[in-house]
């Protein structure tokens, strides 16, 4: 189904607060995360962020949500109803608004044999606050930054502490990431981000999207990547940059972080305690 059609399946009926009929406690503490790329069931669902825990009580994104989402793939492949993806994703990947919003009962009840956990009576009627398949939902989507081809960022060896602090203050984000370069059988270099990306200054970046974002940046800006890491080696970097008005990410100043670079460590500690 084209994404343009999927975008019209949603609307928010903000008429009254629904009384939750599911066992999930909608008053509990939640957090917003990016819907990961490997969660294929909710690809192109019309929004990019979800709340955790979800309506099925899953709170671990990589350990529960992503693998359990694959349980629903056979159901979607049957083509049982055009709103099936919208309905299921509103449960396993609730849209990240100020409050949890359940799918409307009419979206759940289409005369098909649903699992017990998805019984129609568990969901609010359309006169309550819920998701129904009538209007555009795209204005709730938060666009994620996108990598783009750019001029190569400056790489500054052994920077002064003030230089690093200024970079933190002048840019939207600052992260540490270990970049690795290996060679493919045909001799072409391949770059990857090893391990976790750590935030110094998170800014507009999202935890579950940033590693993939930097990985894409390396592939798009191969000429720049070639000067960052020697073949067969890894290098830890502090990367600072900004998100441009068009939504593209631009890396601006990079600092290789060697064990002897005390100034970077001191600048990072000072930033966390004092900021700009």
Q: Which of 45-49, 70-74, 79-83, 197-201 shows the lowest per-residue confidence on average (mean pLDDT)?
A: 79-83
Chain position carrying tokens 């940059």: 241
Taking residues 62-75, report their average pLDDT.
Answer: 83
- pLDDT tens per residue, range 28-48: 567 888 888 888 888 777 778
pLDDT for 46 equals 76
Contacts 24+ apart (CB under 8 A), 70-79: 70/40, 70/41, 72/41, 73/40, 73/41, 76/41
pLDDT at position 15 is 24
Please answer whether residues 184 and 222 qualify as being in contact, where contact means their C-beta atoms are separated by less than 8 angstroms: no
Which alpha helices (H) appear in 14-92, and where do they start and end?
66-69, 73-77, 84-92
Domain formed by 148-273, architecture = Beta Barrel (2.40)
* pLDDT: which is higher, 5 or 34: 34
CATH of domain 31-122: 1.10.2000.10
**What pTM was computed for the model?**
0.53
Contact 71, 108 (CB under 8 A): no
| Per-residue pLDDT reduced to its tens digit, 198-243 | 999 998 887 767 888 898 899 889 899 999 999 889 999 999 999 9
Domain range list for the chain = 31-122, 148-273
Mean pLDDT of the chain: 75
Cα–Cα dist 84/42, whole Å: 11
Separation in Å, CA 275 to CA 166, 257, 267, 272: 10, 20, 10, 6
d(CA 276, CA 270): 10
CB 148 within 8 A of CB 250: yes
The pLDDT score that the predictor gives to residue 110 is 44
* Cβ-based neighbour number of residue 1 at 10 Å: 10
**Does residue 104 surpass a pLDDT of 90?**
no
């Amino acid at each position: 189904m084209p994404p343009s059609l999927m975008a019209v399946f949603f609307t928010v009926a903000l008429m009254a607060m629904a009384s939750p009929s599911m066992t999930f406690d909608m008053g509990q503490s939640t957090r917003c995360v990016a819907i990961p790329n490997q969660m294929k069931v909710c690809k192109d669902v019309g929004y990019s962020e979800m709340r955790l825990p979800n309506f099925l009580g899953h709170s671990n994104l990589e350990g529960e949500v992503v693998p359990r989402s694959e349980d629903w793939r056979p159901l979607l492949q049957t083509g049982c109803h055009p709103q099936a993806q919208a309905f299921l994703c509103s449960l396993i990947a609730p849209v990240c608004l100020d409050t949890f919003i359940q799918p409307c009962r009419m979206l759940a009840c289409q005369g098909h044999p649903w699992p017990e956990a998805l019984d129609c009576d568990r969901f609010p009627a359309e006169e309550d606050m819920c998701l129904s398949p009538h209007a555009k939902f795209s204005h709730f989507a938060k666009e994620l930054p996108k990598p783009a081809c750019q001029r190569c960022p400056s790489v500054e060896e052994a920077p002064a502490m003030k230089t690093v602090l200024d970079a933190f203050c002048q840019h939207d984000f600052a992260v540490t990431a270990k970049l690795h370069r290996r060679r493919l059988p045909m001799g072409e270099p391949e770059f990857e981000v090893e391990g976790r990306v750590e935030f110094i200054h998170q800014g507009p970046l999202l935890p579950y999207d940033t590693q993939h974002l930097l990985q894409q940046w390396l592939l798009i800006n191969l000429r720049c990547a070639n000067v960052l890491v020697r073949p067969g080696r890894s290098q830890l970097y502090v990367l600072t940059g900004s998100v441009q008005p068009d939504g593209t990410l631009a890396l601006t100043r990079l600092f290789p972080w060697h064990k002897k670079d005390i100034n970077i460590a001191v600048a990072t500690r000072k930033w966390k305690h004092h900021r700009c």
